[in-house]
Amino acid sequence: MSWRRNSCRLQVSGYRYQVGFYLLLFLFSGCGYTTKTLLPDDIKTIQIETFKNSIDIIKEVSTKDKYEAYRPNLEVDLRDVILSRVFLDGNLKIADKNSADAVLEGQIVQYRKDPLRYQNEVVQEYRISIVCNVKLISQKDSKVLFEEEGITGDTTYFIAGTLQKTETAALNDAMSDLARRIINRIIENW
């Protein structure tokens, strides 16, 4: 009887060690999140080009695209917001084109202002969306390090009430969202 009791204690004790071992292994393995960039190690600096504004300002407005808009200097404002996002992220440093390891090029393909909510047939809420195609190119060998079409930054805003916001303020929010998405995809591939 004493032998059986000791055998059970050994089994329970061994089980505890196994559970403890696997628990420690799990805790030290982490969840895969890192603040290190997924870019090659030799990419430390970046030049942000002013994106090309490819929105057709002379396109005839139709029912389908009546909410497409053109905003002068959108490309310059977007570049400034992306520069701020690179500074905030901290994984890359800004450099001029001659000394940068990589160059970010882009094209603004769409700026939309879509109505979302109506009250008495009057628009109360809009969604602003900015759509871009981006490409990150290595300066050393002209290799494309990252490329994606149709990255979208957007936000919603009310034109009346306590949550009221101007279109310009909403546009700044949409550009910030777009810059965050671009830099996150380049750095972390999210």
DSSP 100-140: -SEEEEEEEEEEEEEEEEEETTEEEEEEEEEEEEEEEEETT
Stretch (H or E) spanning 181: helix 167-188
Number of Cβ atoms within 10 Å of the Cβ of 128: 24
Residues 6+ apart with CB under 8 A from 182: 82, 85, 104, 106, 132, 134, 151
Task: Name the band, by pLDDT with cuts 50, 70 and 90, for residue 71.
Answer: confident
Instruction: Please give the Cα distance from 170 to 20 (Å, whole number).
Output: 51
C-alpha triplet 98, 103, 108: angle, nearest 5°: 135
Does the pLDDT at position 65 exceed 60? no
**Range with the poorest average pLDDT among 59-63, 92-96, 140-144:** 59-63
**Which range (14-23, 40-49, 133-142) has the least confidence?**
14-23
pLDDT for res 35: 52
Q: Tell me, what DSSP letter sits at residue 60?
A: P
Residue with structure tokens 């109506």? Answer: 118
Cα(first)–Cα(last) distance of the chain, in Å? 60
Q: What is the mean pLDDT of residues 164-169?
A: 93
pLDDT in tens, 78-126: 999 999 999 999 999 999 989 999 999 999 999 999 999 888 888 899 9
pTM for this entry:
0.76
Stretch (H or E) spanning 47:
strand 45-48
- Look up residue 42 and give its two tokens: 């030799």
